[in-house]
Chains A and B, each alone.
Chain A
Amino acid sequence: MISRYVDLDVRPILRAGGEPFAAIMEAIGRLAPDEGLRLFANFKPTPLFAVLGARGFGNEAIEMGGGDWQVLFYPTGEADAYAPVDSNSDWPAPVRNVDGRDLDPPEPMVNILAAIEAMPTGEVLAALLGREPVFLFPELAKRGHAWRGGFDADGTTYRLLIRIGGKDAKP
């Protein structure tokens, strides 16, 4: 049974153009076993469902009007043992941001790859993009980096997080 829900409103972070993922994971990490999280966001945070689902959280999303959403995350006790390590671990807050929304392809990819080459293992970069960067993913995989991403509910901004991997396979 859930004894109580901890509230977290990430709308101010999103409105400021920030990346709320770290704050959410931090709040999830502080929950007691019988607690849930009540998240407020200005879009339906679909990518989060899979990430938290793998950590054993079910969800119930309710549209509040005006584009705002309230999502209840509650422990189901069924954490997926086969989920990739990356989705079970908390990522640190991003130390670098790249805004590629007003750049034509392939400039966002060029900027992101240039930025992550200068970052040490374990750090996280956040990027805002106009499209899903389908050609970037194979390059990230080859270089041993991990990533998470998804579109906002209105489908115009793709939020991408990249964590620098340790097994960087330089040619």
Chain B
Amino acid sequence: MAGVSLSRWTMSYFAAALVALLAAETMMVLGFGFPSAPVEAPATLVLVHVVALGWLSLLLCGALFQFVPVLVARPLHDNHLPFATLCCLLAGLVLLLCGFLQLDGTLEGDWPLLPAAGSLLALGFVLVLYNLGRTLWAGRPLPLPARFFVAGLCGVAAAASLGLIFAFVLTGLATAPPLADLAASGLPLHIVAGVGGWLTLSAMGVSYRLLAMFILAPEDRRWTSIAALWGGIGVLLLAVGGGAGAVLLNADPTPVFVAAALLAVPVLAAYGHDVIRLYAKRKRRKLETNSLMAAPALISLALAAALLLALLALGQMPRFAGAVLYLLAFGWLSGLGLSQLYKIVAFVTWLECYGPLLGRAPTPRVQDLVVESRARKWFYLYFGAVWFGTVALLAEQALVFRGLALLLLLATAGLVVEFVRTRRLADVAIGPQGQDVPHRPRLLCALVAQP
């Protein structure tokens, strides 16, 4: 019953993540990387890793440093370590991008950038695993959403290990045949472990608790939720473990991936059933923007699954894999991330500024820190741009896609302005009593008393 304090560095993670998202969208507008460049081009690798590591992973890490302690009702194991972790991850990311540009000669010099980048990123993720792992360990027995995080953390460990192997093989520092085989055919494993394991399983865990909490839905433990957890772990084990086994035995891993995709269908159905039930059983009838805008993100996940199955059935999967990944990354993961950020930034800022004043002075409500009507327009524009962008990718219209990416960039920039305004208390009406706060929040870190 020690209680939980605010995570000191979560806002820094969010800020770095949003900068990465804006950078990635700017690249898409300028035609840097896929779909203007081929999938395997170094420019595409840059774009993909700015999205997956810079935006989604930093967002998720920042959120988990705040959210895991709340879930297990224990303080974060170390509230200082996330800053050093962020430095490792950011330095690793920058080196990684430079390493990719080195591959096609955009950057000259023969420094071993990729192995250095891989090592820094691996160190960063080890620190994340250590800090969250110790926190989760202290909080056993774990509630269901926390079990999704454990599975997600296993996913990031697998994705980072594979990335490290790629980096060492690509630069000729590792030559052992099994590692070379993994580097040659292991890209789908890296993607499934990262996007499916780390990002999607963690996002499912977040949604089980955050949705239920903010729409006042019952959090009863249902067999469908347990099936979604273990089924998700099964899909991950089959795709990554089975896929790696096939690669190492020089067999074709495609049947394993198809089997994993088919197994993912009932898993997503169980999860979808739970989410629909949460919305249907909620006590809060009028939805706030964060819960309302989680819906198009969840719909994007369902659409991406349907698209994947349709493409597999039509034998068109490798050709249009980019469209599926785009819908997953921007519709599902980014959409859910942005919609929950909208609430988390307001909630955390409110708690930091007004928590000490509660009961002693008039304080605004959390809702008073945001202007919902303004943010909703940006969310509509965002999801519209993502969905039409996916259609443009399926129609192979790169120029149309770039135009839609500009709308995406505009919508994201609009939301970032809203987040900064929230953090700055710019929309809080100053009442007749002045409603002064003991301290104005800092944009990038929370001022919290350390235990």
Q: Give A residues with C-beta under 8 Å from B.
A: 102-106, 109-110, 113-118, 130-132, 134-142, 147-149, 156, 170-171
Contact = CB atoms under 8 A, between A and B. Distances in A.
Given A116-B359, A117-B360, A134-B4, A104 B214 contact: yes
Interface in B206-235: 213-216, 218, 220
Contacts of A148: 1
Contacts of A139: 355-356, 358
Given A104-B213, A147-B1, A149-B1, A135 B360 contact: no
A114 B358 contact: yes
Given A102-B283, A117-B359, A132-B73, A137 B213 contact: no
Contacts of B213: 104-105, 131
A104 B366 CA distance: 11
B360 A137 contact: no
Interface in B355-376: 355-356, 358-360, 363, 366
Contact of B358 (A113, A130, A141, A170): A113
Contact of A110 (B2, B358, B438): B358
Given A109-B358, A114-B359, A170-B360, A137 B3 contact: yes
A114 B220 CA distance: 30
Given A104-B216, A138-B3, A139-B358, 17 more contacts: A102-B283, A104-B214, A105-B213, A105-B214, A106-B347, A110-B358, A110-B363, A130-B216, A131-B213, A132-B1, A134-B4, A134-B70, A135-B3, A138-B449, A139-B356, A140-B3, A170-B360
B350 interface: yes
A81 B432 CA distance: 52
17 contacts: A104-B213, A106-B351, A109-B358, A110-B358, A116-B359, A118-B359, A131-B213, A135-B70, A135-B355, A137-B3, A139-B356, A139-B358, A141-B3, A142-B449, A149-B1, A170-B360, A171-B356
- Indicate the size class of the contact surface on chain B: 20 to 34
Q: Is the interface of A mostly helix, strand, loop or mixed?
A: mixed
Q: Which of A102, A103, A132 has its CB near the most chain B CB atoms (within 10 A)?
A: A132
A135 B4 contact: yes
A171 B449 CA distance: 14
A134 to B, nearest CB: 4
Nearest to B4: A134
B354 to A, nearest CB: 9
Given A106-B366, A110-B358, A117-B360, A138 B5 contact: yes
Interface of B: 1-5, 69-70, 73, 213-216, 218, 220, 283-284, 347, 350-351, 355-356, 358-360, 363, 366, 438, 449
Contacts of B347: 105-106
Contacts of B284: 104
B216 A102 contact: yes
Contacts of A141: 3
Nearest to B72: A134
A17 B218 CA distance: 19
Nearest to B366: A106
Contacts of B218: 156
B4 A138 contact: yes
Nearest to A141: B3
Contacts of A105: 213-214, 347
A137 B356 contact: no
Contacts of A147: 1
Contacts of B216: 102-104, 130
Contacts of A142: 356, 449
A171 B305 CA distance: 54
What 9 pairs across the A-B complex have the smallest Cβ distances? Answer: A137-B3, A117-B359, A113-B359, A113-B358, A134-B4, A114-B359, A138-B3, A132-B73, A134-B73
A170 B359 CA distance: 12
B362 to A, nearest CB: 11
A147 to B, nearest CB: 7
